Amino acid sequence: MALIVQKYGGSSVADAESIKRVAKRIVDTRRAGHDVVVAVSAMGDTTDELLDLANQVAPIPAPRELDMLLSSGERISMALLAMAIHSMGFEARSFTGSQAGMITDARHGAARIVDVTPVRLREALDEGAIVIVAGFQGFNRDTRDITTLGRGGSDTTAVALAAALEADVCEIYSDVDGIFTADPRVVPRARKLDRISSEEMLELAANGAKVLYIRAVEYARRHGVLIHARSTFSSGEGTLVWGEGMRRNGVALTAGGGNAEGADMEEPIVAGVATDLSQAKITIIGVPDVPGKAAEIFKIVARSGANVDMIVQNVSAAATGLADISFTLPKADAATALKALSGHQAEVGFESLVHDDQIGKLSVVGVGMRTHSGVSATLFEALSIAGVNIEMISTSEIRISVLVRGDDLAEAARLVHTAYGLDGTVDATVHAGTGR
């Protein structure tokens, strides 16, 4: 008998029929002899609807009260799901994040987990109950307030529970059949992967892949939690997200992601292509090309709270001694960064600022890049043939990212996906349409 943690996203519990379908899957897992702990998101678009309500009654909602409001969505889901399981003849107990022992820091809206003390969950499991936990939320011991974990919070809740309970696997359910070589909504011929390393998944998640959130993958990698990304709407095998030292069904996973006996040890050159339309670019024109100016600029940006991604500085003109610095950041952070930079224009001594929010980032990820040449040449040739202009380039050991026009991103992703031989033979299936 295994201990399995399952997580169901908003599209999986969008309405009463969906909740009953999820309840049946949970009961089937219990019938198979496994202990089951479930982390659940709010139904459908409930969180967005609650945010809209909050903004209607207050231009800037108080963070503490906003967390109280938003955490109610998951409490509704957990109670309804427990009721559905009870109606099928099985014992189920629902718990809020604080009841489940999800201890966080005091930051409202983006709290981080500092400890998990699942005493009540273990008691319920020992008494034969199926455990349902409200995702996305926790509790701070010092303030004694409810907190929420921010985007991907339910994924992170599930992984944290799996680590604390020493579960055999953490199954993350959504409306796609697993991890694909690209977003199937952008690249219809994307292929489902049987397995992917946590290192590659971290890069894909950080660069726009939405099926798993980066915080959950990072937590799983750090604590040795095996993730199985699956679909709520089908019974097929999904994708294993593995790390060194992880085991499945008691068998160690190899560096190639398979079982130790008879595994193919070769890594794929490219695991996937990620796309991201959520970024903007700021160009600081006419920066004095002297030591310390870049430090001044990015200290200002950091104090504004913006998270910088790609950075490029051109060579200064000999006649003027001035250079341009461009960087990308989330669109939501652009306004505050621009305001902060404008307020220090005279101090830094730059000429002007240019803001561009019509950009897209394309990233190619694969651990095989470490040992294979020609990966970048394939990318640049595919974009050249398509007539797509590259505005910025950024690399890591297993990733190449390029910035292109937003209107070119989808077509560029399809062409690059084909160039690396990643296309499947049929279009991928997306069951509900949101990826969550």
Those residues with Cβ within 8 angstroms of residue 256's Cβ, 6 or more apart along the chain or in another chain: 263, 264, 265, 266, 267
The count of structural domains within the chain is 1
> Could you report the per-residue pLDDT of 35-80, keeping only the tens digit for each?
999 999 999 999 999 999 999 999 999 999 999 999 999 999 999 9
- 433 or 373: whose pLDDT is higher? 373
- Amino acid at residue number 333: D
β-strands 352-356, 279-288 pairing: antiparallel
Confidence of residue 152 (pLDDT cuts 50, 70, 90): confident
Residue 34 main-chain phi, psi, to 5 deg: -100, 150
Q: Residue 179: is its pLDDT beyond 90?
A: yes
Question: Average pLDDT, stretch 297-308?
Answer: 95
CATH number of the domain encompassing residue 169: 3.40.1160.10
pLDDT at 296 over 60: yes
Question: Is 316:288 a contact under the CB 8 Å cutoff?
Answer: no
Q: Which of 88-102, 122-136, 168-182 has the lowest mean pLDDT?
A: 168-182
Is the separation of the CB atoms in 191 and 427 below 8 Å?
no
Is residue 315, in this structure, part of any structural domain at all?
A: no
Output the CA–CA distances (angstroms, integers) from residue 316 to 160, 285, 288, in the order listed. Answer: 49, 11, 9
Pair of tokens at residue 383: 């974009």
Per-residue pLDDT of 13-36, as tens digits, reads 999 999 999 999 999 999 999 999
Domain around 94? 3-264
Runs of H (alpha helix) within 166-307 = 198-206, 214-223, 293-303
Residue 201 lies in a domain: yes
Residue 274 counted as domain residue: no
Asked if 134 and 93 touch (Cβ cutoff 8 Å), the reply is: no
Tens digits of residue pLDDT in 347-367: 999 999 999 999 999 999 999
Strand, coil or helix: what is 220?
A: helix
Q: Is the pLDDT of residue 259 over 70?
A: no
Q: Which SS3 state, helix, strand or coil, does residue 212 take?
A: coil
325: pLDDT confidence band, cut at 50, 70 and 90? very high
Model confidence at 435: pLDDT above 50: no
- Alpha-carbon distance of 415 to 419, in angstroms, equals 6
What is the per-residue pLDDT across 203-258, written as a single tens digit (0 to 9) for each?
A: 999 998 888 999 999 999 999 999 999 998 888 899 999 987 676 665 556 544 44
296 is a domain residue: no
Could you tell me if residue 114 is inside a domain? yes
pLDDT of residue 233: 85
Strand 322-330 relative to strand 272-276, pairing: unpaired
Write down the pLDDT at residue 267.
59
Range from 174-183, 190-199, 257-266 carrying the lowest mean pLDDT: 257-266
Pairing of strands 272-276, 359-365: antiparallel
The verdict on residue 42 lying in a domain is: yes
pLDDT computed for residue 84 by the predictor: 98
Is residue 428 included in any domain, yes or no? no
CB 393 within 8 A of CB 402: yes
For the chain, give the mean pLDDT.
91
Q: What percent of the chain has pLDDT over 70?
A: 93
Q: Which tokens sit at 209?
A: 């892949």
- pLDDT tens profile 153-168: 999 999 999 999 999 9
Query: pLDDT at residue 193 above 70?
Result: yes
Give CA–CA dist 94/335, Å, rounded. Answer: 41
Within a domain: 436:
no
> pTM above 0.75?
yes
Kindly tell me the number of DSSP H helices and DSSP E strands found in the chain: 12, 22
261, pLDDT greater than 90: no
Inform me whether the pLDDT recorded for 147 exceeds 70: yes
